[in-house]
Each structure stands twice: as structure tokens, then as C-alpha cells.
Amino acid sequence: MIVILKKDATEEQVKHIVDKAEILGLKAHISRGVERTVIGFIGPEDVLRMTPLEVFPGVEQVMPVLAPYKLVSREFKKENTVIKINDDVTIGGKKLVVMAGPCSVEGLDEFRSIAKKVKAAGANILRGGAFKPRTSPYDFQGMGEDGLKIMRDVAGELRIATITEVMDTRQVELVAKYVDIFQLGARNMQNFSLLKEIGATRKPVMIKRGLSATIKEWLMSAEYVMASGNFNVIFCERGIRTYETAYRNTLDINAVPVVQKLSHLPIIVDPSHGTGVWNLVPSGAKAAVAAGANGLMIEVHENPEEALSDGAQSLLPTKFDVLMKELRVVAQAVGKEL
């Protein structure tokens, strides 16, 4: 259920509505848009039906939210959500973001070298994994907290925002100390305990689409985070598993306009995981920008042959630099900036 307030509704009236609803066991979420303020209520359907919200002072209209993902939906918020990461970076506006770096943090010197090159090419968020979910238990699992410290030190030196994956509820507090954005990986998209834990932090989180997840399931994962109080949610399309074997995953470009129609939250595309093949990454990246994505996540490594994870899909820094130049042309063509 959403309550649309009158343009002249006072803060007192808003508080009165929220307080009354909470007495009835309803959870209120306030969204302040350019044209209107909306309060979304989550709670038992019978209580929602029997509560005369339309008679409260300051209320203009009461509407049911038909989609199962209430807070995520366009019904709840018409305007696009823009998430502020720091003074220089926002996600969801006219300017595209590019998250770039190695799949894994492998050492201080290596990470600093790659970070300098991706920033010089135009990346504004530095990526790197400290905890790595791997199919085989014998593969490199990441440097853990040492990797997080390297990310923080390099990011501080270069003045760039950071994103890294969190895999477990026990890691949330630790990771939050070091980076600007949580990444929730594809394998954890429906880890509901982790979604709730991240929801309690208010730190921006990027939710990657599960390997075989439907868009509805993906949106419902974001609903878990938002229902826990964190509205700083970003989607990431990273390819889904199909019958095709010519490449690692099938990059679902359709997901970009579909998610933007259904939700107000920004969406990023990861063509590195989306294809799994380095020479397909540029095409996937350009297609994502042309489709209207709010940004990209791209893996870059100076020596992909020796990378401890995902070397086959990593671009050399020189190729990343060329791609960034090409992407600026595509972005301009669709009314974006890079």
C-alpha cells in the first residue's frame, strides 16, 4: 500500500501518519520525490485493508501496490533513484559509472598498478575481490582482510571509490569498514539472511543477478534489502546460464529496459562475467550502454595468463583504455556522459 501526500503536507502530518501506522504493526518507508512524497506501508494485508489511511490529514490518495516487490517497484516511486557514493560519484543519473579492476586482489603492488591505469582511463569505482566464491574448494579464495586493507590503502591514495563482494553475514561488519559499496554475488542473490544483514547497514549494495534467476526473483531479493531499511540498492546484470556453450554465460541485455520499466533502482551491467571471454567484453559493454544501463563493471588485469581468478575474461589495461574511448561515443549517442 502506498499513500500519496498532498504537495502542502506538513512534517507533522507525515509523522502523524507514520506513528499511527506503526501502532497498527505496519512498517513505513518514506520516499521524497521531486513532485510528490510517498509513504509505502508494509504489513499484514488485512490490517492494510481495514486502516482508513485516506482520511488522515495531508493524504491525497491511497493506492495498492500490485507488484509483489513493493518498495522496489515504479508504483512506489516514479522518479529514478540516484545513489550517492561519495562527493564525486553517483549511480543512476545522466553520468555513467564504470567499476573496473581485477577479479581478485592479489597483492599491493599489482593492485596499485592496475588501479592507477583504470582510473587514468576513466573508471570511477575500483573493484577487486577479497573473498572469492569459487566452484572448486581448491581454487584461490581471496586474501580476506589483508585484501580489504590493500583496497582501502590504494583507494585512499588514488581518491577513488571501491566495491567488493561480501559472502557471509559474519563478513558484513568487517567489509563495511573498508569499502564504499557491497557487492552481493550471483550465488548469494537469494541468501536471505545476508540480504537482511546488508539491509540493516544502509551502505550501498549492488545485487548481481543469480545464475538462473528470473527478473522477478531478482527484484524480490532487492525487496529484502529495502524492507530492512536500506534504499541504496543497485542491480547488476551479469549473464545467466542457458544451453549455449560458445561462451561462459548469456548476457541478457533485455534485462536493462525491463528492470528500468519495473523499478526505480539503477542497473549496472557486467559484460566480463556476462560473456566470460575477454574479446566479447567490448561488444557487451557497448550494447549495455546503448540499452540504457547506468554503468558497467569490467575486469582488468595486467597479466591475465597469470591471474588467480577469471583471467580469461579480463581485459589488458591498454584494451580497457581503448574501450573507454569507444564507450564515450556510444554514451553520447544515447544522451549519457562518461
What 8-state DSSP symbol labels residue 333? H
Summarised one tens digit per residue, pLDDT across range 77-88 is 889 999 999 999
- Domains annotated for the chain, with CATH where assigned, are 2-63 (3.30.70.1140), 83-333 (3.20.20.70)
Summarised one tens digit per residue, pLDDT across range 277-298 is 999 999 999 999 999 999 999 9
Query: Which residues is 2 bridged to in the sheet?
Result: 40, 63
pLDDT cut 70: percent of the chain above it:
97
Kindly indicate the confidence band of residue 9, based on its pLDDT and cuts at 50, 70 and 90.
Answer: confident
| pTM, to two decimals | 0.89
Summarised one tens digit per residue, pLDDT across range 10-24 is 889 888 888 888 888
Instruction: Tell me the residue length of the chain.
Output: 338
Half-sphere exposure of 96 (CA within 13 A, CB side): 31
Q: By the 8 A CB rule, do 72 and 263 touch?
A: yes
Range picked from 124-133, 247-256, 301-310 for highest mean pLDDT: 247-256
Q: How many whole angstroms from its chain centre is CA 78?
A: 19
